[in-house]
Structure 1
Amino acid sequence: DRRPDPLRLRRIGLDFTGDTLLRQTLNWYHRSSALRCRYGIELENPFLEDVKKTYPAVFSACFAAGSVIYPRVTGEELSENEVSYLSLLIGGAIVRSEKKISAVVICNGGVGTSQILARKLRDRLPQLMILGIFGSEQVREAARLRPQLVITTVSGIQTPCPSVLISPVLGERDLKLLNRACAEVYTKAETCRNGLAGLLDEDLIVLDYQGRDKDQVLRFMAEGLEQKGYVTEQFLEDVMARESRGSTALGFGVAIPHGVSGYVNRPAVSVVRLEESMDWAGEPVSLIFMLALNFKDIESTRAFFNGFYHLTCEVKIVELLRGVTSPGELIRVISENCV
């Protein structure tokens, strides 16, 4: 029997039988791992120790199961590096199971047909959280729910987020399209989460700052970025010029002042939470993110801003940020909610 001990898997509470994406990535892993073994290639994982600390139970279970299976299949002993890559795949599945992708369904059929389709989607794609079912004339209503994905049987509709056109019968081709779309959503979320977390510097996060006015706050934040070497002295002037062209307030008490990439040495995000709200070109603002970015490609930029705008435009998340008591806690809240 080449399957891992199901009792051991139950002991750590993992059930991924419905995770098609995990099955696909495991198939890829097994093929590449077998090739590495055949040609004697040891692929070192620089994050080995981090994986052990982050997913200790998963690492142990994978090592125990793999130590039995791997020699039978390859004739070689399983290394910790191989286990760590396998654990990362399982870890990704854990994240997906904890953070579902919010989606809306837009159909041009009757209520019964729409409900059946939604039921099929829930059964076949457990990573989805269906927020609602709408008719083709209700696209705006659906958009108000701020889904991460639109699943539709109607061609030609314009949606504010990624959409997938499927058949009402939900065939295998449709499932492949949906799994691919889900993978892209997860990838963009990870890009945002990892990218934003990496851009936050605890020294540049100031809570309950007593600012006099907008210009003084902008100067304070830009000077902090300059002192740490993230930007040049021209950055402040550019930020001020950008503010003069139009407000950078997003609503919900959040503002995102920023300058051009030409004055950015290294990308960073400075954060100030004001003790009291202040006027920001006609809007009350209490949470300010100064963006000093210089992404080299448009995909990274798009992924960052998609996630960042979701983060700063969700009332619940903004309230969490207003309630943090330390820079470290603010980074944790952002890392956990940038999806």
Structure 2
Amino acid sequence: MKSVKQNALMHNLLLLLCENETISVSRIAAILDTSESTIRRKIDILNDALKETGYGYIDKSPRRGLHLVVEDRAAINKLFANYELKNIMTGERQIYKYLILILSGKNNKITLNELSERVYDSIPVVRKNLTVCEEWLSLFELHLSIKKNVGITLKGSEESIRLAIKHIVINNDLYSIDESIRIFAQGIDLELLKQCIFAIESEWNFKFTEESFHSMLVYAALAISRFSHTVLTISDTERKTVVKYNEYSWSKSLFKMIEEKFSVEIGEDEIIFFAVQLLCSYLIHSENFEENNAYKYDEKLKTFITRIISVVSDVINVDLTQDKELYYGLLNHIRPAIFRMRFEKHSTQTLTNFIKEEYKQTYRVSWALSILFEEYYGINISSTELSYITLYIQSSLDRMSQPIKMALVTELGMGLNQLFCNKIKISVPKVEKIAIISLHDFNVKMLDQYDLIVTTSSLKISSDKVIQLSSLLSDNGIGLIKQKIEMLKSRQLETKKKFDVSCHTLFDPKLIFTHLKVKDKEALLSLLSKHLVSLGYVSSKYHASILKREKTVSTYIGNSVAIPHGNSGLVNESKVAIAILDEAIQWDTENEVDTVFLLVFRISSHEDSKRVQLFYKGFLELIETDEKLKYLRSLPEDELYKYLVQ
């Protein structure tokens, strides 16, 4: 079913490109009821296929959209007779077939001929598709060695191979999870293995999330099937760290049971490796926002969580410090998150882009926490983990926000008024009660009693709180009310000044560039880094640290804005370099950027940390709306500097 839906999506995508001179990704996503990130991925696949087959290509123009350049219109038209587009699509399903065969090969080897026969592709096609496989495997620090008379050899650590296998099992849609596990762990009694994991869950009083359960099932099966002929490389750090936590005891208990049930002997390295995966896994906590008894939280973590909530509260001017649900939620989430960022090389989570767009302002607030993760734990927070922390903060804000007080000033009949009130309560959950006031009873003093006043009559007063609609029941009117309510909610994030006076030294006129022309992201970061080095603000190694971070986490935060930053230990003096580009450049696989704030922060004291918090507070105000960004981008360099420090 999923395959059919994907084929239909590609078919409709090509149809829209053919029928429109230009069309934006957002417009396609809206028409096809699909996320923009999915559309961008499919556009790339379709574009490669069109180029390879000579049908044409897809021209991508910033601010204009997508344009299909056709070399052979008749050939394109024929494609619509083939609903599955088999003539032009290789598709990720075929690549998954390659990866499964490569990762399940005996002694990590498979010949080109064997691979060709099993995937039904010619040798030239196999060679081409192996380059795609190489890209995927590189995410796990694996690569392929292809030699004549030897074949294809998978190179990399056993830990990386198992991590890659886990991701293949969880994500491929060729086979069920159980079927996939049996490919890599032949002969394993999966039902018996599941019973062992269930028993450990029950004994230690915790529950895995669905994905984590399947991940642990994969790792346990691989331990049984591979321990006798593979060697795990466990670092001293992992050995010293893991044994301190209950997960090590869980792992030991599980493998003791496995040894008894499966008549095998599992070594200590397998127990430690599995414990690391447990530390990285998501658990379901049922203790109703209290510390889970399965965990022993250290005081450092508790202090860290308290600091996180304090920083967020300060940045958004909303006190979240009394929200116990937020505290315990973050406590239960961040502990395994720290281990995931230390030990995992790739994430299967796919919600990041949705969260960035759906909760844009809160996601930007969360970026203020990245420096805290470096300060406390010496790790760079990933965009995936940042996104999930965003959800906890957003949930807390939703709990804190007060219901909207609304009044309807009307001269219409009660039946129509009640119909309107019911429609509003259904469409806008934040409105719980609506006061109905007759036009002749309304007076200007009532403005202070309500957040919003809706009317179809002229009240002859000027106020942001008043919305005059032509019709109470039109969708357009409901839309205007929603917009006004969102504006009211966003005011809690506003500050009176752009930046506190303590932040003014972060800006230097020599580090502000407008109407800049650069060919790509690397060129821009190189240019900014050279200026920072020449002014003595950073060491010569700072540029490399920016690039390293960009490889692990996208610093795109929406509205064509990015906030790259490097290792704070390489900073001599905190500064912010700003680049406003004439033309947008590709920032990551899915987003273009035309406004860049390179955040160069040194955190060596409490005052430094406080100044960074104040910067983020002002920064959120600076880029809050499209209108503010448009004005920012219109300023020349000297005016932009004055605007920031006024």
TM-score using structure 2 length: 0.26
Higher helix share: 2
Higher strand share: 1
TM-score using structure 1 length: 0.47
Greater relative CO (CA pairs within 8 A, separation 6+): 1
